[in-house]
Chain A
Amino acid sequence: MVERRPLFRIFCHVILVLGIVSIALPVWVAVVATTHENSAFSTSTPLWFGDLGFSVFRDLLSNESTFNNSSLPITDMLFNSMIMALAITVGKLSISIMSAYAVVFFRFPGRMLAFWMIFFTLMLPVEVRIIPTFEIVTNLNMLNSFSGLTIPLIASATATFLFRQFFLTVPRELVEAARIDGAGPIRFFFDILLPLSRTNIAALFVITFIYGWNQYLWPLLITTDAQYYTIVMGIKQMLGVTDGIIEWNKIMATTIIAMLPPVIVVIAMQKAFVKGLVDSEK
């Protein structure tokens, strides 16, 4: 704030509040919907809370009620989502930090080739190689398995580059001091580099967790067995109802359940998230 302009400042607040309200509107409507009986949606959507409270959530989470055509209880889907998101996150961070370590702290024949191959993955999102990747996963017998759900998604140029970027800023003297202190490459990695990378790891954790949790196309392709359905896929399934009544209150409750974990992670680790997002595009 360069000068004092109280009116302008109030105006700023008004605009931002308007922004927040319009962005939050869909969630408001969804939350309200979960407190109504499904019969409330016959002609229009109520905009204020009904009298069901949290009972829709309770029924869904205790698996007392499932929605129309789902064969898998919602808690199982949440569990699958959690496994998938965590496996992708841990896997992605591990292999990225390892390969960035190799590229920055070692010189070896083929180093640049490896670097460019990793770079290449930037240009190949799942969306552009759907069928052949599916075929390979089929040939490897990885359909309908957690390994199939996660392993193909854990290679990431972005994460590798972020770690590389950070490693390049580690003062050379720190490595040298460690070597003189008798630390070899592995000890240096665990004793010095890993603790120093904490904030970067946290930042990437947030981004990757969201990425993993929100995966849609890939699980859609390779899981046909309902046992492996994730919550994000479950929503699509509910929306796909063509016959029978759409249970909006349950759909919205499930939608909110599905979005809560990543939203909580982002809000709780806001600082790390902002850092990760901004850094990873540098």
Chain B
Amino acid sequence: MSSPVIFKNRYLPYALIAPQLLITIVFFILPAGQAIFQSAQLEDAFGLSREFVGLENFINLFNDSYYLESFFTTLKFSVSVAVLALVCALILSAFAEHIVRGATFYRTFLIWPYAVAPVVAGSLWLFLFDPSIGVVTDMLEWFGINWNPTLNGDHAMWMVIITSTWKQISYNFLFFLAALQSVPKSLHEAAAIDGSGPIKRFITISFPLISPTSFFLLVINFVYAFFDTFAVIHAMTQGGPGNSTSTLVYKVYNDGFIGLDLGSSAAQSVILMVLVALLTVFQFKYVEKKVAY
């Protein structure tokens, strides 16, 4: 931001920035304000009357066992997705780093799931996990597991975790690969001369050096699992069976749109905003460090 005054023009910069600002204000900032406002109100289901209730919606939420359960569901879901997606991607990228010939081929066939819509991913995996005809269901039957995600909450949870992980591996893979490739070759050569093999080198050299990337990806994966998986859950389980896969974001939608409990939904929105804000600040503080690194 240190470049000098370059162009002087009184109106042009405003004209240039106006469209983005207008959209930002109308569709982002106003609704956010509205959410905060509504979170302090109680409205009946027909929208006929409203009253100011202060923090009551929040207090109700934290006394609501369903909401607290949803918190834990989200946590369980997000941690599983983040860990699984990171581990799979790390393994793949660690081996991909050693490939010279055919590198582009492998990359091409590993990154495409990124482009697949969450709903589409849901559809693909729903077919595999179908309780009566699914391929995975058949395989699991061999192991004596009676797979039925429409009735078993744990099964449903695993199903959405696997689907969400499947979509996220490509993203992590690309970042890990880029980070691994930026580890100076001379370090590997020095270690090879010291007699350590590729696996040992990965553990003692590459892995510590890419820790900033790993950490950054962890945050990104959390954000992904929190917010971008709504469509997976909506398409595959609708939060069920019971509330076993009802994450916070799914619940905001469900309570607001299906349950029409606007006050509670708004309060949930506000809590989510705080969560994203925390994650964003965390990420940016960290990104600054990465620049200095």
Contact = CB atoms under 8 A, between A and B. Distances in A.
In the complex, are there CB atoms of A and B closer than 8 Å? Answer: yes
Interface of A: 1-3, 5, 8-9, 11-13, 15-16, 19-20, 23-27, 29-30, 33, 41-45, 47, 94-96, 98-99, 101-108, 111, 114, 117-118, 120-125, 127-133, 135-137, 140, 151-152, 154-155, 160, 168, 172, 175, 184-186, 188, 210, 213-214, 216-217, 220-221, 232-233, 235-236, 238-239, 248, 251-252, 255, 258-259, 262-263, 265-267, 270, 273-274, 277-278, 281-282
Nearest to A32: B135
Contacts, number: 307
B4 A26 contact: no
Contact of A124 (B170, B266, B273): B273
A105 B216 CA distance: 30
A74 to B, nearest CB: 14
A281 B126 contact: no
A20 B113 CA distance: 11
B99 interface: yes
A106 B13 contact: yes
A132 B31 contact: yes
A107 B5 CA distance: 6
Given A29-B128, A99-B21, A106-B12, A259 B120 contact: yes
B126 to A, nearest CB: 6
B17 A98 contact: yes
8 contacts: A19-B92, A41-B133, A117-B24, A123-B280, A131-B256, A131-B262, A132-B35, A214-B119
Of listed B4, B124, B280, residue having the most chain A CB within 10 A: B124
A131 B35 contact: yes
B75 to A, nearest CB: 17
B173 to A, nearest CB: 9
A128 B269 contact: yes
Interface stretch (B55-63, B66-74, B152-160, B184-192): B184-192
A23 B113 contact: yes
B7 A2 contact: no
The SS class assigned to the B binding surface is: helix
A42 B192 CA distance: 57
B138 A117 contact: no
Given A45-B127, A210-B114, 9 more contacts: A12-B98, A16-B110, A24-B109, A118-B24, A128-B272, A184-B7, A213-B117, A258-B120, A262-B116
Contact of B231 (A8, A16, A217, A267): A217
Interface in B99-147: 99-100, 102, 104, 106-128, 130, 132-135, 138
Nearest to B291: A282
Interface in B12-61: 12-14, 16-17, 19-21, 23-32, 34-35, 38
Nearest to A257: B120
Given A251-B127, A270-B111, A114 B21 contact: yes
A132 B113 contact: no
B230 interface: yes
A155 B96 contact: no
A129 B29 CA distance: 10
B270 to A, nearest CB: 8
B5 to A, nearest CB: 5
A146 B124 CA distance: 28
A16 B92 contact: yes
Given A120-B29, A129-B35, A2 B171 contact: no
A127 B223 CA distance: 12
B258 to A, nearest CB: 12
Interface in B221-274: 227, 230-231, 234-235, 249, 252-253, 256-257, 262, 265-266, 269, 272-273
Contact of A131 (B1, B38, B201, B277): B38
Contacts of A273: 111
A276 B236 CA distance: 30
B117 A9 contact: no
A141 B138 CA distance: 50
Contacts of B174: 274, 277-278
Top 4 A-B pairs, shortest CB-CB distance = A132-B34, A214-B117, A132-B31, A106-B13
B123 A235 contact: yes
Contact of B32 (A132, A232, A233, A259): A132
Nearest to B141: A44
